[in-house]
Amino acid sequence: MSDITIRKAGRAGRITLTRPKALNAVTYEMCQAIEAALDEWRDDDEVALVIIDAEGDKAFSAGGDIQKLYETGRAGDFAYGQKFWADEYRLNAKIREYPKPYIAFMQGFTMGGGVGISCHGSHRIVGESSQIAMPECGIGLVPDVGGSLMLAQAPGRLGEYLGTTGARMGPADAIMVGFADSYVPQEMWSYLISKLEETGDVSAIGKESQIPPDGTLAAQQAQIDALFGGDGLIDVLNALRSDESDFAAGALKALSRSSPLSAACAIEMVHRLRRTGVTIRDALELEYRFTHRAMEHGDFLEGIRAAVIDKDRSPNWQHDLDNPPSLAATKMLMPLGENKLTFDEGD
């Protein structure tokens, strides 16, 4: 497959995304190839660890390939998207639960679907160019691919802030929030990968790790906790509108680009998942309730039209922020009954 290269090198199973001109957007076929490789390597004694990286300077992966999702959805075929998300989510769970070290090198943009194949790994490495984000609310989705779990486990109310505004995390912020583990200068990545291939020993990562340049979220957290600490979207909006700080104005502007339905659901999801004992499968099952309905009942198709197809950046959302949806958000997150996400295939 020209979009991805999978091989064994020394003690490592190697996965490299090879779509740099498309910012390494993850296709359905790429997800299938990754899952097949992980299944093959699980019981392969020659493979001590798995390394996933990507070609190009701009992005590890800027997200999932949404062109076909849009085309099929516009044609009234919702089943393709539902299967795509179900199979992608099973892969995300497999990565999180993988019995061998899974090491991700995340340069440039890592967003959406890219987060799902990297940030659930056991060893997540960022460098000076790394920018990690969950911007799904801006296209009428919610933070998914298991990202909702990491947002729920983030310090304070950073999860609500990052999930609704799509704010980007540099290396220090990504480590602080829980989307990454180690900062290694990118000029050292080739050497580190060679050592991992040679030894199959993850202790090589710690020997090359350094303290990252300062981020921004630590200094902003008290303000974020106050502004995003409400029970729902309306409470967050009221707090932002009544605060005269530049930060609140910027956060409100960013949130205003998001689908109100998606933002309301994102906050609700983070709240539901912020409890002891929640697993990756709990998070993915909740996310799938939304994405299963996203094309038919959500803002996804309109969000993609405005951002990717027509590029007018003027989506006509179903709801507005002056009257944030609550009942509609509740309906989007209701159990799916017989359509509930399962993790049987490929396990």
Within 24-112, where are the H helices? 28-42, 67-74, 79-96
pLDDT at 347: 40
Asked: is 138-165+216-347 a CATH 1.20.120.80 domain? The reply is no
| CB 182, CB 205: distance < 8 Å | yes
Of the options 3.10.20.30, 1.10.1740.10, 3.90.226.10, 3.90.230.10, the CATH number for the domain spanning 1-133+171-214 = 3.90.226.10
**Phi and psi at residue 302, in whole multiples of 5°?**
-70, -35
| CB 315, CB 305: distance < 8 Å | yes
Strand, helix or coil at 64?
A: strand
Is-same-fold flag (1-133+171-214; 138-165+216-347)?
yes
Two tokens, residue 277: 């004992």
**CA–CA separation, 163 and 159 (whole Å):** 6
Helix-strand-coil percent breakdown of the chain, rounded to 5? 50, 10, 35
Other CB atoms within a 10 A radius of the CB of residue 160 amount to 27
What are the catalytic residues?
64, 113, 136, 144
pTM of whole model > 0.85? Answer: yes
Cα distances (angstroms) measured from residue 337 to each of 190, 272, 340, 341: 48, 19, 6, 9
- Domain chopping of the chain, boundaries: 1-133+171-214, 138-165+216-347
Cα distances (angstroms) measured from residue 62 to each of 7, 24, 164, 252, 308: 23, 7, 18, 24, 13
**Which residues have CB under 8 Å from 141's CB, separation 6+?**
262, 290, 291, 294, 298, 300, 303
Q: Is the sign of the CA dihedral 215, 219, 225, 228 positive or negative?
A: negative
Taking the mean position of all CA atoms in its chain, how far away is CA 338?
A: 26
pLDDT tens by residue, the chain, 347 residues: 589 999 999 999 999 999 999 999 999 999 999 999 999 999 999 999 999 999 999 999 999 888 889 999 999 999 999 999 999 999 999 999 999 999 999 999 999 999 999 999 999 999 999 999 999 999 999 999 999 999 999 999 999 999 999 999 999 999 999 999 999 999 999 999 999 999 999 999 999 999 999 999 999 999 999 999 999 999 999 999 999 999 999 999 999 999 999 999 999 999 999 998 999 999 999 999 999 999 999 999 999 999 999 999 999 999 999 888 989 999 999 999 999 999 976 44
pLDDT at 1: 54
Reference 169, options 217, 205, 105; nearest CA is: 217
